[in-house]
Amino acid sequence: MRYALIFQKEEEFIFKNVPERPVPSLLRGYSAPIRLDSDLTESDLYFLLANDSDEFNRWEAGQILARKLMFSLVADFQQQKTLALNTKFVDGLRAILQSTSLDKEFIAKAITLPGQGEIMDMMSIADPDAVHAVRTFIKKELAFQLKDDLLAAVTSNRSSEAYAFDHDSVARRALKNTCLAYLASLNEPDVTELALNEYKSATNMTEQFAALAALSQNPGQVREDALLDFYNKWQQDYLVVSKWFALQATSDIPGNVVNVQKLLAHPAFDMRNPNKVYSLIGGFCGSPVSFHAKDGSGYKFLGEVVLQLDKINPQVASRMVSAFSRWRRYDETRQALAKAQLEMIISANGLSENVYEIALKSLAA
């Protein structure tokens, strides 16, 4: 490794006795929040992903590659082409997973894909269906190709010791839980059994909730039983129940709007409690798949809830209606459906000024 310090706007560096073309690892150890454009090639980024000793730069290389990969696959999906995962990307993540020198918390972050919202924010016309399909494909394909490494990480990071809040313990849990989530996406019997075992044997709420989240990815009786069991165990803890609502609200399982509608009648939910509303209704609005469902069911659900909520707490209702504020970023079909709900809200009798103002601004945005 050679270091080069840059003091001028433009500088030239000549490396002697270097057998291969050097790959720059830029701004090593630099902590200021900046946005950097560079001419690093994909080959350079794959090299950094697999080898960079600066953990942030290694993570950044992976995120850039993941975003490029996702955009490329989104285009393929939209053109109905067969999706395929670049083997170099898989190999880069495998190298990170197999490392014995890297911090476990870093490994957990490095193998985590960019979120659906992040990718949609970078699109000229957001396509929730394509982004969701692509991210799901990548996650499952990584889980399939890295299954042995992921299983090894889960096994080696189990602990029967008492809960401890220190870096090593937090890092261990983060890595185990991230790997378990990947594996559960395969929805295979052996992996489901593994996740159930992790759920039942967890010695603390953090790991039990992570196992529940892993199981909740796939619809079915196992999911329903685990959710009910978790609620029965933690129903006296207000904050945990809020997390329980949010987990179900943000789910990407098909037709989740129906599940969220049912949860409105759950005895632990109270429309008069802002935090419960933020967990359930706000969580649902944060789901790119369910809220932006092509049939408009997510928009219709929110429109109806906003009118109910406005009679109870106009301030919270106005915050919920702001989920419509970016409706023009989507395709024409979704725009028409979202616009119809905003117009319905504005025309409602007895509407509060809070909600009217936000809805009107959203409509005109």
Could you tell me the mean pLDDT of each successive run of 10 residues in the chain, 365 residues long?
Answer: 78 84 86 79 91 90 95 97 94 92 95 95 95 97 98 94 90 97 96 96 93 96 97 95 97 94 97 96 94 96 97 96 95 97 96 96 91
Contact 304, 345 (CB under 8 A): no
CA 354 to mean position of chain CA atoms: 31
Q: How far apart are CA 314 and CA 47, in angstroms?
A: 53
**CA 13 vs CA 4, 18, 103, 242: distances in Å:** 8, 13, 32, 56
Q: How far apart are CA 132 and CA 119, in angstroms?
A: 10
> What local confidence, expressed as pLDDT, does residue 113 receive?
96
> What local confidence, expressed as pLDDT, does residue 251 receive?
95
Domain 1-145 has CATH 1.25.50.10: yes
Q: How far apart are CA 229 and CA 139, in angstroms?
A: 27
Contact 107, 99 (CB under 8 A): yes
Say which CATH superfamily domain 236-365 falls into: Peptidase M1, alanyl aminopeptidase, C-terminal domain (1.25.50.10)
> What local confidence, expressed as pLDDT, does residue 190 receive?
96
Kindly state the helix (H) or strand (E) to which residue 260 belongs, with its residue range. helix 256-263
Tokens representing 157 are 């990071």
Contact 228, 266 (CB under 8 A): no
The length of the chain in residues reads: 365
> What local confidence, expressed as pLDDT, does residue 34 receive?
76
Q: Work out the number of other CB atoms within 10 angstroms of the CB of residue 19.
A: 4
> What local confidence, expressed as pLDDT, does residue 4 receive?
76
Tokens representing 146 are 């890295």
What is the tens place of the pLDDT at every residue in 141-191? 999 999 999 999 999 999 888 888 999 999 999 999 999 999 999 999 999
> What local confidence, expressed as pLDDT, does residue 161 receive?
84
> What local confidence, expressed as pLDDT, does residue 274 receive?
96
Q: How far apart are CA 235 and CA 156, in angstroms?
A: 31
Write down the pTM of the prediction: 0.90
Which of helix, strand or coil describes residue 126? Answer: strand
| The CA-based dihedral angle spanning residues 312, 315, 321, 323, taken in that order and rounded to the nearest 10 degrees | -130
Domains 1-145 and 236-365 share a fold: yes
**CA 24 vs CA 54, 88, 171, 241: distances in Å:** 11, 19, 29, 48
Q: What is the DSSP letter of 3?
A: -
Q: How far apart are CA 225 and CA 228, in angstroms?
A: 5
> What local confidence, expressed as pLDDT, does residue 50 receive?
86
Domain boundaries, the chain: 1-145, 236-365
Q: How far apart are CA 270 and CA 139, in angstroms?
A: 35
DSSP string, 55-122: HHHHHHHHHHHHHHHHHHHHHHHHTTPPP---HHHHHHHHHHHH-SSS-HHHHHHHTPPPPHHHHHHT
Which of helix, strand or coil describes residue 227? Answer: helix
Q: Work out the number of other CB atoms within 10 angstroms of the CB of residue 41.
A: 10
